[in-house]
Amino acid sequence: MTDPEFKKFSDIIKTPFNDISLLRQAFTHRSYINEHRDAEADHNERLEFLGDAVLELVVTDYLYKTYPNKPEGELTAFRASLVNTISLSEAAAELSVNDYLLLSRGEAKDTGRARQYILANTFEAIIGAIYLDSGYDQAFNFIESNLLYKMSDIIARNLWQDAKSFFQEKAQEFTSITPSYEVLNETGPDHNKKFRVGVYLDKELVAEGEGHSKQEAEQKAAQLALATKGWDK
């Protein structure tokens, strides 16, 4: 992939780069370097390390200033709901980061949980590259445009709370029943399993959720169950 193609990505995110090689490095996975020993670029792990710290500072700064009456515990939960593998990988996918990744042939075939991690890590590496190239303000603008805008919806829909705990709280409040979870189906090879889980109130199947772990599937089922019952308002 050539520098003009990475220039195209910088145009998409409305972030000009003085040193486009930093952006190329942000997209370079360690597996690509292992397979292309003559590649001039380094892999993105150091940029990811830097971007992770910048991301945490930006989100923490934003939450502290935007919600002055919220206690530390709630602010921490808000941040965790926004800065996690699922949220970051979704933000990366929305920017078509997949189209620019430099991966080994083996990694390029994996589209499951491992790809989620790669996308999330690349999103952080992009932040690191922006910070090095243009400074904090530009990194803040990128995070604000592609992540922070989701916070108001997360809070409005109570998605910052642990969905299973919140659904159990609501179920006991309205029905006096403790929800139960059951694996309905498992598909895929051992390294890329996919689970479908149902959440029940007594014998009523309220909702189903899918994920690459039972815990992820249960959380998604609980989120859908909250919406189904109208308890997410």
The token pair that represents 49 in the structure block: 């390390």
- The set of residues, in sequence order, having a beta carbon less than 8 Å from that of 22 and lying 6+ positions away, is 47, 129, 132, 133
3-state class percentages of the chain: helix first, strand second, coil last, to nearest 5: 65, 10, 25
What is the C-alpha separation between 80 and 57, in angstroms, rounded?
13
H or E element in which residue 49 lies: helix 45-66
Is 42 part of the annotated catalytic residue set?
Answer: no
Among 52, 107, 133, 216, the active-site one is 52
Strands (E), the chain: 180-187, 194-201, 204-211
Closest CA to 145 of 132, 164, 160, 130: 130
52 classed as catalytic: yes
Q: Interior CA angle at 51 toward 163 and 126, to 5°?
A: 100
Given the residues 48, 107, 124, 216, select the one marked as catalytic: 124
Instruction: Tally Cβ neighbours within 10 Å of residue 172.
Output: 12
Write out the catalytic residue numbers.
Answer: 52, 124
